[in-house]
Structure 1
Amino acid sequence: MKRIVLFLVTNVAVMLVLSLTASLLGVNRFLTSNGLNLGMLLVFAALMGFGGAFISLLMSKTIAKWSTGARVITQPANATERWLVDTVAAQAQRAGIGMPEVAVYEGEPNAFATGATRNSSLVAVSTGLLQSMTQEEVEAVLAHEVAHIANGDMVTLTLIQGVVNTFVIFLARIVGYFVDSMLRKNDEESSGPGIGYMVTVIVCEILFGILASIIVAWFSRQREYRADRGAARIIGRPQPMIAALRRLGGLAEGELPKNMAAFGISGKGALALFSSHPPIESRIAALQGQ
């Protein structure tokens, strides 16, 4: 419940900020008496599409800590925490990135990385993963997350999300205006968009949003293959990553908040097209074939 409330509150706050910004800039007045101002609509769509994606990216570390209850290791309390910090430090140096914050959170086996830049990031592992894997397997999972950071995957996925969001908002309003115009073409007394515009925009945003989710999920799956290969390079061989994936395949994975699911070590979607992660078997086969 805490995760759901936090997710909703954050998204409402982001939308309010973006709506206020659009109003102050005047780009929300793309519907004019002369028709649809496409230039202004594109600016509005880009502001809402990219704005939401980048605000979420900038807040990603804070939201991750709040939503998972992750505790950043500032002073290692035991040998395991000391090993985690030292391992991530060595991997970050090999990958050529700044030292990420290292955190541990209570939960079923999973891990994630997030952060706005390569030099301001967070790597977190669950207690379930630490208890279920060997040290070599945990090292491979950490390397996978460090590879995500080194590859700039958080920014890449944010840019892709911003692009598809922009097109969803832009196209939905064009279709909405066209449908509304057709419905009102014989009504000379009415002016401005009617109910047909609002209903069509809502329906189109849902439909186009589904298509956009498929595109973003496809890119997310490609990131996972790259991060697996990156982990193998950081460690120096693919076997530990293969072993970690095999172990994950036999475990009940821990669920991450929706806004962070794409950055976990594993994840499943209701359908393959919407899954942020490829099947474990495909990832193992890709590593074995490299």
Structure 2
Amino acid sequence: MNANLSKKIFVAGHLGMVGSAIVRRLQALGFNNILTRGRKELDLLNQHEVGAFFEEHEIDQVYLAAAKVGGIHANNTYPADFIYENLMIESNLIHSAYKGGVKKLLFLGSSCIYPKYAEQPIKESALLTGTLEETNEPYAIAKIAGIKLCESYNRQYGCDFRSVMPTNLYGPNDNFHPDNSHVIPALVRRFHEAAQSKREEIVIWGSGKPLREFLHVDDMAAASVHVMGLSKEEYFSHAQPMLSHVNVGTGIDCNIRELAETIATITGYQGRLIFDTSKPDGTPRKLMDVSRLRAMGWESSISLEKGLEDTYGWFVKNENLVRR
């Protein structure tokens, strides 16, 4: 048996969209010692519980996919929850991983760490060069702190803690709540329900012109496992110790109108799309520079249309089980 496949790997946040995709990817590759814990089994906000967990288990690798996440509405409504819970989760896990002698840790962040008006496409070096988007600043600050935690433990203790910053993610196990979800799951649910009820029109905020990049969660999982499989020398030759995070994306964007039209076609919605230009568009463009990840030997493989078809199929199959 390949010794690497028997490494004890803890996936924190295994029930979420990203964590569950990472578990699927690891299992598909033959890893057979994957450790998971639900909230009732391990409270990641509790420093003592997390410390005891790492003392009990000799863990080789950690995928830190646990986080409190949500869309603009949720971030605006619960800013204290977003900054507190995310700071506590990453602080407890990263410190306990160091104390427990974990050989590799991967921290999963978000593209919202970058300045609102960062030069496009956004390079890793744009971090901390400008003002953040106001609506999700608390969440972004928590994610920036996670990156800096990894960098600081690497510098002071010689750890091998890495960070990946994904663009907008979507796919199976996403949150399809009508108010607290991101743009793709929100539109998938709205168009599906509109198609079922044969609504004549759907109103979408803004002009439809803003450009956004989207990455299927299975691609994100594949990239994460690829990054973790690199040697320390391979990884840090492309991500310097003082700038150790790496962007994960497709390097391709589309406008919101194109996205909406594609989802309408996939869901069978035949009504009119009305773009309410009295509503704000937000940032005109948000595209990640993924040249560093490509230099590490990985590129995305799931097209947006194929990924949306997969996501809609999962939603229909699990409509009664998705987070409402």
Please classify the TM superposition score into its range, dividing by the shorter chain length.
under 0.3
Q: Which one has a bigger Cα radius of gyration? A: 1
TM (norm. structure 1) is 0.25
TM (norm. structure 2) is 0.23
Which has more helix, going by share of residues? 1
